[in-house]
Structure 1
Amino acid sequence: MKVKVISRSTDEFTRERSQDLQKVFRNYDPNLRTQEKAVEYTRALNAAKLEKIFARPFVGALEGHIDAVSCMAKNPNHLKGIFSGSMDGDVRLWDLANRKTVCQSLWVPSLRLWNVPDYRNKSPNDSAAMVPAAVYVWKHAFWGVDHQWGGNLFATVGAQVDIWDHERSEPVNTYKWGNDTVISVRFNPGEPDMLATSSSDRSIILYDLRMSSPARKLIMKTRCNSLSWNPMEPMNFTAANEDTNCYSYDARKLDEAKCVHGDHVSAVMDIDYSPTGREFVTGSYDRTVRIFNYNGDHSKEIYHTKRMQRVFCVKYSCDGTYVISGSDDTNLRLWKAKASEQLGVLLPRERRKQEYLDAVKDRYKHLPEVKRIVRHRHLPKPIYKAAALRRTMIEAERRKDQRRRAHSAPGSMPLVPFRKRRIIREEE
């Protein structure tokens, strides 16, 4: 006689790495779970609220400078190190993990090359003066400098664009297009021979080191203070403009901006991309730091404090976890790139839960209540009023343009997209 029995192994209904937690078996048949969407919507709503409750972006301040911090630089080979320079000529190397100065030096009117000291095994209280490995002197003043990614060349800007080699005492190449001062320069991380500059004549110029002359020139209606290349898309870059907006361009098609990033209420002073290429951070004269998606019209995060003054420089950390800002109040501030992110080690179960909550919020982000909570930001009163005034001015200009077009002869006033309005012309 045959007898049929049910046989189960203990491993089938016991969770991994634990002998006391039982697996939960669920039947995902939609007929048995009629309230599935309602439950997920409630979870998305609660997750959006909890994200606001636990949003604590400010980590700490790096104190040491005695004048406004005007520039910063980072080395991709050193995750926790960052350089900063103040307007009194003080250059410092910071250890972000300990928030201490590793070494410092006084800047003089010349170009200097330093070897980065090994500070990983140094005590946080040990600081030494940096000794330059080489000094370069030239006949023009320097307004900006940037080093090639993975090469021995670096570029300086001022009255002209000079390309230098570590082993040479004079520039190996010189470019000039116009008579105005060049104020910023950035090498392309994906194409080592490509670089872009912004000038005081409101132009953005692209250079190719393999050519003897500049490649292309774009003239806008207002000046660009800084620009940054997307590390994951070498053909795209974003420029921080004086008209409170940032403009993303494709280097192959400069007659129209790919995206216009708004929300600032004063001139944007600096910009830097995340190592992932999905976000970038901006610092503005309106005393705020904002984080944008690479294709987003509006900012997704805004950071500010009561004591922070005009922000002159911003940088992403090399791992994309933190944002560093330098402002007019002599401080460097360290922020979390994700305001509500939990710092420290997460258990696999905690990480899976957070990924699920993020997916649920993304699924229901179009619904009014979730959208309102996710988009809400607390703003200082001056910035709130300035933003409201700016929206009123933009709306009045739009209505005026519509009325002019309605009362003009057909075809006499063609509709120009906003992405093209700020461009005067393109030269080659």
Structure 2
Amino acid sequence: MRVKTISRSTSTYVPQGTTSAPVPRNLNPALHPFEKAREYTRALNATKLDRLFAQPFLGQLGNGHVDGVYTFAVDPKVLNRVASGSGDGVVKLWEMTDRSEVYSVKAHDGIVKDMCYSDDGKLLTCASDQKIKLWDHPSKMEGKSTKDQVKPLMTYLGANSFNSITHHRHDQVFATASSSIGIWDISRSKPTSTLNWGSDSINVVRFNQTESSILASAGADRSLVFYDLRMSTPVTKLITTMSTNAISWNPVEPFNLAIGNEDHNAYIFDMRKLERALNVLKDHVAAVMDVCYSPTGQELVTGSYDRTLRIYSVREHGHSRDIYHTKRMQRIFSVAFTPDTRYVLSGSDDGNIRLWRAKASERSHVRSTRERVKLEYDEALKKRYQHMPEIRRIARHRHLPKTIKKMSETKKIQLGSIKRKDENRRKNGEKLSARMPERQKMVVKNVQ
């Protein structure tokens, strides 16, 4: 039996040496009839490998907390340190490199509601015990006994329990949220001014880190209020259909912010045009408890009461690009990006702090030039062929917990029923208001 084989000489397409001129390559499409077919196959294989190596969960930090984890503080100037506060009043500092506990201190007698870092690296904590405490730089507290030597530099007393705290980007000023917004000088024991616009309780307050005199707050009366410290007065007020649980300013686009709402969605707003949202981020099936922008401003992580964590690409569409969950993880109350954007932290009421990869299939090792070029080529191919049915199906497929899957299906049926009922009422001649775009449905009123 005679078998004919295809034999190619390497001398026709490989240079003879390093000093030789490169072998010319003809880019005429007529000479490469199967180019698109080959690229599609490579894009399909790259998508499959991306899902095959998707292992987002890295582990937990130390032994976690005894009570639930309700707040994080990430110092933007330090990559490997994060502080966490729990429901039993304990504040812990963690070393991200080896996931170990640096120190732990019983900071408050109530729930630690919020924490933030000052410009010089000191930590501010507030709690339901009506106290704010200022703690020294972490490097000066390592190795100290929590009972004898770890003491706050200063304690501030308030008239009501504090719900939130945020520090000014440059000045020694911080703001707190309780029954009103208090503006504090870090060297004084009483607030220098008080801001309020019609809310009995304010849930969250956040300084804009770029336009540093702008302040945003969310109240229990479903209001989202913006203040300007240069005028010491409110600027504008937005009333939404349901209350807001969290606020995060975009670090790159100064006027844009994201809010986590009780209606299961996160919204992105431009504070100059509050009549409609820039984007509606869907997919959660319970209230969004916390939101956090990545340092690049391109991605947003949300933590929800439905025990899942979702990551959104802000500019693309309103659905999450990834969802993270574990069997033991309970309701998520706090999320944060690390300053290098590679990792995500989540704190839940089971007391654990979990560390996740921001990109599930990415590995943080030193890459050779050849590997880096191959990964960039694969990413370009996946982007080019992302709308092909098979590639889109594989890229979007996720395994969900049974409860989340059932709740998603039920929610889809309910929303479809509401739309169908509205259309039937219009068809049968009932006079209804004009159809409201999806990005305007949650806006009740904008007050200047």
Fold-level match, TM-score > 0.5?
Answer: yes
Of 393, 397, 418 in structure 1, the residue corresponding to residue 414 of structure 2 is 393
2:190 maps to 1:170: yes
Aligned AA for 1:67?
Answer: D
CA gap of 1:90–1:357, structure 2 versus 1, over 3 A, is same
Question: Residues 255 and 423 of structure 1 are in contact (CA less than 8 Å); yes or no, is this contact kept in structure 2?
Answer: yes
Greater displacement, 132-141 / 88-97: 132-141
Aligned AA for 1:81?
Answer: R
2:88 maps to 1:67: no
> 2:134: which partner in 1?
113
CA distance in structure 2 between the aligned counterparts of 1:189 and 1:337, rounded to whole angstroms: 23
How does 1:7-406 map onto structure 2 within 5 Å? Answer: 10-13=17-20, 26-62=25-61, 63-108=63-108, 109=129, 110-118=131-139, 126=143, 128-129=145-146, 130-295=150-315, 296-406=317-427
Q: Could you tell me how far 1:29 is from its partner in structure 2?
A: 1.8
> 1:408: which partner in 2?
429
Question: Residues 247 and 260 of structure 2 are in contact (CA less than 8 Å); yes or no, is this contact kept in structure 1?
Answer: yes
CA distance in structure 2 between the aligned counterparts of 1:304 and 1:67, rounded to whole angstroms: 20
CA deviations 1:265-284 (Å, max 9, x no partner) are 00110000000100010000
- TM-score under structure 2 length normalisation: 0.88
Question: Residues 292 and 299 of structure 1 are in contact (CA less than 8 Å); yes or no, is this contact kept in structure 2?
Answer: yes
CA distance in structure 2 between the aligned counterparts of 1:99 and 1:254, rounded to whole angstroms: 41
Q: Could you tell me how far 1:405 is from its partner in structure 2?
A: 2.0
Q: How many residues align?
A: 408
> 2:4: which partner in 1?
none
CA distance in structure 2 between the aligned counterparts of 1:119 and 1:37, rounded to whole angstroms: 60
Question: Residues 199 and 220 of structure 2 are in contact (CA less than 8 Å); yes or no, is this contact kept in structure 1?
Answer: no
CA deviations 1:355-414 (Å, max 9, x no partner) are 11011000000110000001111100100010011111111111111122222367x531
Q: Could you tell me how far 1:141 is from its partner in structure 2?
A: 1.7
CA gap of 1:247–1:418, structure 2 versus 1, over 3 A, is same
Q: Could you tell me how far 1:212 is from its partner in structure 2?
A: 2.3
Question: Residues 165 and 171 of structure 1 are in contact (CA less than 8 Å); yes or no, is this contact kept in structure 2?
Answer: yes
CA deviations 1:1-51 (Å, max 9, x no partner) are xxxxxxx9954549xxxxxxxx77543221111111000000000000000
Aligned AA for 1:389?
Answer: T
CA gap of 1:28–1:131, structure 2 versus 1, over 3 A, is farther
Aligned AA for 1:395?
Answer: G
SS across alignment from 1:222: coil
* Identical amino acids, percent of aligned pairs: 45
CA gap of 1:234–1:12, structure 2 versus 1, over 3 A, is farther
Aligned AA for 1:252?
Answer: R
CA distance in structure 2 between the aligned counterparts of 1:184 and 1:364, rounded to whole angstroms: 42
Question: Residues 102 and 127 of structure 1 are in contact (CA less than 8 Å); yes or no, is this contact kept in structure 2?
Answer: no
Greater displacement, 128-137 / 332-341: 128-137
Aligned AA for 1:396?
Answer: S
Structure 2 unaligned regions, length at least 5: 1-14, 109-128
> 1:20: which partner in 2?
none
SS across alignment from 2:30: coil
CA distance in structure 2 between the aligned counterparts of 1:156 and 1:298, rounded to whole angstroms: 33
CA distance in structure 1 between the aligned counterparts of 2:364 and 2:25, rounded to whole angstroms: 32
Greater displacement, 23-32 / 65-74: 23-32
Structure 1 unaligned regions, length at least 5: 1-7, 15-22
Aligned AA for 2:226?
Answer: L
Question: Residues 405 and 413 of structure 1 are in contact (CA less than 8 Å); yes or no, is this contact kept in structure 2?
Answer: no
Q: Could you tell me how far 1:119 is from its partner in structure 2?
A: 7.9
SS across alignment from 1:421: coil
Aligned AA for 1:262?
Answer: K
Question: Residues 48 and 373 of structure 1 are in contact (CA less than 8 Å); yes or no, is this contact kept in structure 2?
Answer: yes
Question: Residues 269 and 278 of structure 2 are in contact (CA less than 8 Å); yes or no, is this contact kept in structure 1?
Answer: yes
CA deviations 1:270-311 (Å, max 9, x no partner) are 000000100010000000000001132100010000000000
SS across alignment from 1:214: strand
SS across alignment from 2:31: coil
SS across alignment from 1:155: strand
CA distance in structure 1 between the aligned counterparts of 2:175 and 2:20, rounded to whole angstroms: 63
Aligned AA for 1:112?
Answer: K
Aligned AA for 1:404?
Answer: R
CA distance in structure 1 between the aligned counterparts of 2:222 and 2:361, rounded to whole angstroms: 38
CA gap of 1:40–1:127, structure 2 versus 1, over 3 A, is farther
CA distance in structure 2 between the aligned counterparts of 1:275 and 1:27, rounded to whole angstroms: 43
Question: Residues 181 and 196 of structure 2 are in contact (CA less than 8 Å); yes or no, is this contact kept in structure 1?
Answer: yes
> 2:7: which partner in 1?
none
CA distance in structure 2 between the aligned counterparts of 1:119 and 1:359, rounded to whole angstroms: 47
What value does the CA root-mean-square deviation take over the aligned residues?
A: 1.8
SS across alignment from 1:186: strand
Question: Residues 247 and 257 of structure 1 are in contact (CA less than 8 Å); yes or no, is this contact kept in structure 2?
Answer: yes
